Amino acid sequence: MTMRTHWMHLAVWSAILLSACRKEEAVEAPDMGLDYFPTAVGTWVEYQVDSLWRDDPSNVLDSVSYHLLERIEEHYTDLEGRPCQRIHRYVQDLDGAWVVRDVWTSTVDAYAAEKTEENYRRLKLSFPVRDARRWDINVYGTGATGDDTRNDELLVAYEQVDQPWSTGSLSFDKTVLVKNTVPPNFVDTREFEERYADGVGMVYKYWEESTNRVVYNPDGTIALQNVGWRLRMIAVAHGS
């Protein structure tokens, strides 16, 4: 082998090694699922909301349906130095104009997405988004009752990770379902589901909390009385 040929071989191998190194450097980081909880100002979702509450002992059964719009209005830094989002929740007045009903907040890092709803701080998503990953939404101590002295643990897990889903009017290529892991029993019913779409945020929610009470009537018969409520939200439009 001549010296010229040797140097040509060396140059070829150097080019191959350099190309391999560049390919390794170009490997994308794993998808942690952060896009299921967008934070860009202007991101919005409009929902059809249906709510029902029931109190058999008081002979109360009522419901309400309306449209609600959630929009990220601004970024700010909280007292802990964390980057946060301020969220306005709008409902329509009698003239059809959107008016602010609530102001909520959220914050996201590499491990979790939190949301403060009616002053209840909840851990909405846990990263990375993976099948069967579990956590307690009310890990910070506040839940459906708002009673800090009550253990209001709400254990959830991921299901149907990165699966397509449709509302009937809207279709999403990539969604994930967050669902409670503790089944209901004869006395207490707790059903909780939230579905998130990539780049959109929450597109579906169902939450039911109810308690059955056994009542012994004067004539000796037994009746079952129910007290509780349920909420359903379905996305009907979204944008940014």
Q: How confident is the model at residue 217 (pLDDT cuts 50, 70, 90)?
A: confident
Residue 118 has pLDDT above 70, yes or no: yes
Q: Is residue 177 part of a domain?
A: yes
Is residue 90 domain-resident?
yes
DSSP 8-state code for residue 201? E
Rounded percentage of the chain residues whose pLDDT exceeds 90: 61
Q: Tell whether 17 is covered by a domain.
A: no
Check pLDDT > 80 for residue 119.
yes
Range of the domain at 108: 35-239
- Residue 7 is assigned to a structural domain of this protein: no
pLDDT tens for 25-61 read: 556 778 899 999 999 999 999 999 999 998 888 888 8
Residue 16 forms part of a structural domain: no
Query: Mean pLDDT over residues 191-219, rounded?
Result: 91
155 against 148, higher pLDDT: 155
List, for residues 57-88, the tens digit of each pLDDT value.
Answer: 888 889 999 999 999 999 999 988 999 999 99
Give the pLDDT confidence score for residue 5 in this predicted structure: 52
* Domain membership flag for residue 8: no
Q: Are 168 and 190 in contact (CB under 8 A)?
A: no
Q: What is the pLDDT of residue 214?
A: 78
The count of structural domains within the chain is: 1
Residue 50 pairs in a beta bridge with 65, 232
Cα distances (angstroms) measured from residue 171 to each of 166, 176, 226: 4, 13, 36
Residue 10 falls inside a structural domain: no
Residue type, 21: C
Rounded to 5°, the CA angle 121-126-130 comes to: 155
For residue 13, name the pLDDT band (cuts at 50, 70, 90): low
Residue 238 token pair:
């979204």
Q: Whole-prediction pTM value? A: 0.83
Query: Where residue 149 falls among pLDDT bands split at 50, 70, 90?
Result: low
Asked if residue 71 is part of any domain, the answer here is yes
* Residues 86, 87, 88, 90, Cα dihedral to 10°: 180
